[in-house]
Amino acid sequence: MKYTRLTKEQLEELHPEFIRFLASQQIDKAEWDTIKAEKPEVAEQELDIFSDLIWEGVLDKAEYMEHYSTNHIFLFKLGKETMESIIIHAHGPHIDLLTESGLQWLNENIFEDAVQVKRGKKDFGTNRNAEAFSLLQQGAILSDGTLYNQLEDMF
């Protein structure tokens, strides 16, 4: 397995797609029920293959990611061969960028000494999607890039 298996909730959301996936392998509902009952290891393999296909599609389309922590915001722009980043570090004992008040504070103090903004760029290794998936596993979320683009214009 290349990525991780989709959760039960994700699989339920993707039920129509999973049915099409099984149909592409000439597996109907009756046969799927038989596989689950008599060959659970084959059913597990099918779920793994389907999960990898979904993750691959999602990661191929991923353009922006964000990761928030108490004192940092990491913004990523994912190209085909390179990844650019904007990293915001807020200094201060009472700053919590995970809260609405912390984000409001950041908005009001973005150009002050208590806020450090850095930009970076790195080439992807041999597998762009694996690196992007690693960011997701570390807590990043997919985004539409609004914040990245706003800050890119400012800095």
> Tokens representing 111?
């150009």
What is the pTM (predicted TM-score) of this model? 0.86
Q: Which pLDDT band, with edges at 50, 70 and 90, does 155 fall under?
A: confident
What pLDDT digit, counting tens, does each position of 99-137 carry?
999 999 999 999 999 999 999 999 998 999 999 999 999
What pLDDT digit, counting tens, does each position of 140-153 carry?
999 999 999 999 88
What pLDDT score does 59 carry? 97
DSSP string over 112-130 = STTEEEEEEEEE--S-HHH
What pLDDT score does 94 carry? 86
Q: Are 86 and 148 in contact (CB under 8 A)?
A: yes
> Tokens representing 75?
């913004």
d(CA 80, CA 107): 31
